[in-house]
Structure 1
Amino acid sequence: MYYIEDYIRTLIQIYQYVLIAYVLLSWLPSARESFIGEMLGKLCEPYLSVFRRFIPPIGGMIDISPIIALIALRFVGEGIVAVLRFFIR
């Protein structure tokens, strides 16, 4: 059971790092057009677009949806682990 929990937590943590890297790339001009930027965009944009539909940018420039997405990802990951603990034990 602990291996499954560790595996899920590791996957969630890796995806969190990918999201953070994608957000940091937005600070660099033309970094999203690079190979790495496009690859990260294909991984992150489907998830972030869900939050961007409901959370508009503040002042037209500051996008807080990645912060909410990271928090939601953490809650979902811990929820999955809790459900697995409940059914497997």
Structure 2
Amino acid sequence: MIGLNTAAVYILQTIGSLYLLIVLLRFILQLVRANFYNPLCQFIVRATQPLLRPLRRIIPSFAGLDLASLVLAILVQLVLMALTLLLMGYGVDPLQLLVWSIIGVTALFLKVFFFALIISVILSWVAPGTSNPAAELINQICEPVLTPIRRILPSLGGLDLSPIVAFLILNLIDMLVIRNLAVMTGMYKGLSLAL
């Protein structure tokens, strides 16, 4: 029988993960210099502004990076993990949770680019040149990843292999760096016990 704690964890994970994605997108949008007049960008700005405004007074931007939104993403991930563990009756080690949060946010960062690339490839097949705000945003997220690869790859007469190379690179980083860090820090074992 499913208890109230399990239901609470499910609701917490769903809402918390969605907000974490929005906060991380705020960081990514500034990182890729997206068009903030896009309606989706404006929604992301409005959704993150209440928590980012006070944090920006403490944490300034550095070299064009919006460090406040990155710190907010790590804090949201940390609170989400801590509440999940507490609801499931496990103890919380703040330092370990901080390390797990950084790994979790980094993994989500890679997944955003991975899925943006998938959507971009599908859109290039079914709706090339569309001016939909979501499609424009996806392309703005993908271009900084694909442009350096396109400079290296030779032109194959209209066939763009850069997304395939980008998929390989993102998967290798995930497999060789993120997963190994998660295993080394006990992240998989600790969180799987709680869930």
Q: Is TM-score (shorter-chain normalized) higher than 0.5?
A: yes
**Which residue of 11, 18, 40 corresponds with 2:116?**
18
Query: 1:46 maps to which residue?
Result: 144
The structural deviation recorded for 1:44 is 0.5
Q: Which of 42, 51, 57 is the aligned partner of 2:155? A: 57
Q: Which has the higher contact order (CA 8 A, sep 6+)?
A: 1
Distance between the aligned counterparts of 1:67 and 1:36, measured in 2?
22
Q: Which moved more, 1:15-24 or 1:40-49?
A: 15-24
Shift in Å at residue 13 of structure 1? 3.1
Q: Take 2:106 and 2:122, find their aligned partners in 1: how far apart are those partners?
A: 24
Q: Give me the CA root mean square deviation.
A: 2.6
Unaligned runs of at least 5 residues, structure 2? 1-95, 187-195
Q: Deviations over 1:24-44 (max 9, x none)?
A: 21122332x221121011110
> Which structure: larger Rg?
2
In structure 1, what is the Cα distance between the partners aligned to 2:104 and 2:140? 26
The alpha-carbon deviation at position 72 of structure 1 amounts to 0.4
Deviation at 1:76, TM superposition (A): 1.3
Which of 30, 39, 46 is equivalent to 2:129?
A: 30
Give TM-score scaled by structure 2 length. Answer: 0.37
Opposite residue 50 of structure 1, the aligned amino acid is P
The gaps in structure 1 that reach 5 residues or longer are none
User: Number of matched residues?
Assistant: 86
Please state how far the C-alpha of 1:17 moved relative to its aligned partner: 1.5
SS of the equivalent of 1:52 reads helix
